[in-house]
Structure 1
Amino acid sequence: MSEVFAFHLDRILGLNRSLPSVSRRSEFFQDGQACPVVLWDSSLSPTDNNTHSSVRLTWGQYQQLLKQKCWQNGKVPKAEWGCTEIHHHEWSKMALFDFLLQIYNRLDRNCCGFKPLKEDSCMQQGLKPKCSDQNAVDLTHIVQRRHDRRHLAFIDNKGFFDRNEDNLDFKILQGINEFPESAVSVLRSQHLREKLLQSLFLDKIYWESQGGRKGIEKLIDVIERRSKILLTYINAHGAKVLPMNE
C-alpha cells in the first residue's frame, strides 16, 4: 500500500513523476482487503526483462553521467560523456523521492547502502554479497516515456516506513549535488504534514486501511524525520537547491 502514499507524496513535492495509484477493494483479490491499483500508462517506453528499465545503466556509468550534468541549461553533451537522453535534474528528483521513502530497488538493488532484513528482495535473491563490485551493478526500474525521453516516470514505488534512522540508505544520494527547489521548499515549510493529511484523506479506502488519522500520522512522522535528515544532509554537503522545471 506504500505505492499510494508515494503517489500523494510525489504530487505534494511537485515532482509529478509517479504513476497515479489509488486504493481499491475487490472480493476477488486478497479477500476484499484494500490493495493499491496503479493506473498504467501506455506511453511508457518498453523495458527489458533483466533491469525493467528503458535505458540500461550500471552504477558506475550512472555516477559518471552525474558528473557531466547531462542536458543541464540546454547544453548538448559530447558523445564521450556517456550521457543518455535523460536530463540531469531527473536524477535529483528520483534520489530525493527514493530517500524519503527508502525505495532501494532503483539505485541500490543489492542493498549495499544499508543493513537489509532477510525479507528484503536483495536478501531473497542473494544480491547483498555482490556489493564488492558496485560499479558493475545495473540500475533497475529506470523508465522513460516514448514521447518524452528527457524525463523519468517513477514506477514500482514500494517504500519502507520501518527502517530506523540509523539504517537509512544514503547510497541513494551518492553523486547528487543539486535538489529540486519545489520539493525542498515543501520540506522546509513545515506544511508537509498538513498537505499529506489533506491529500491522503481523499483516498477513503487507503485512509481506513491504515487505521484512520492515527495510522496516517505515524507514516507522516517517519517522512518528517527523514525530511529533517535530508535537509541536514543538503546543508552539510553544500548541495544546491535549484528550480527544476524543464
Structure 2
Amino acid sequence: MKKKNIKNKKSYARLVGLIFLVAIAVSFVFHQYYTTDVLNKGKEIKVSHIKQKKLFKIAPKEEIMSNNVLRCEPSNISSNKNRLAGKYSLNQFLIKRNIEKLVGNKPMKNMVGEIASRNLETASYLVAIAKHESNLGKFSPKKDGKDCFNYWGFRGSYNKTKSGYSCFDSPEQAVSVVGNRIQRLNEIENINTPEEMLVWKCGSSCAGHNPSDVKRWKENVDYYYKKINS
C-alpha cells in the first residue's frame, strides 16, 4: 500500500512539473510575440513619419525640348542642385535671390518668379540681355500707353508696335515667348556664350553694326550673366 502511495505521489509531482514547464513555455512564446509585434509596429510608424517629412524635399525637375515646345518632366537626377526649395530647385532658388537683388524695384521685378522657374542658362540670359537692352524694363516699348513687357528688344510676329517690337499681354507671356527663344538658341543651336549670343543683337552678322556698340553689348551681357551666377 505504501509503495502504491509513493508511486502515485511521484506521478502527481511529474504531472505538476510538466504543467509548470508548459505554462512557462507558453508565457515565453506570448512574451516574445507581443514584444516583437509592438516593436515592429513602432518601427513602421517611425519610418512612415520620416518618409512623410522628407517627401516634399525630393522632387527634381528638368526642362526639355519637345516638338519646339518646352515642358517640365520628372528626372531621376537626385543631386543637391535639384532638390526643391518650394517650387524651385536649390540652384533656381539661389539664382532667384541674385535676380531680386539686381532687379530691385525696376519693372522686371514682376517677372522674377517666372524667370527663376526656367533653367539656369535661360534665366541668366533673360536678365542679362534685359539689363543691357532696357535697363530691366525702365526703357521699353509701349503700345497705346501700356507696357508691352518686352524688355529684350524682341521683334516677333505677335502684336507688333509701330517700331516692330512684340507687345505682350502679360509678364508671363513675355517670359514664355522670349525664354523659349533663348532656350532654343542654347539647346538646339548651341549658342552658349555672351559672344555667341550676339546673334540676338546683330542677327546673322554684326558686320553692319557699330563695333563699339557690339563690344559694349557683349561685355554688358557677359558681366551681368556672371553676376547672376556668382
Mark yes or no: TM-score above 0.5.
Answer: no
TM-score (norm 2): 0.29
Structure having the larger proportion of residues in helix: 2
* Higher relative contact order, structure no. (Cα contacts within 8 Å, ≥ 6 residues apart): 1
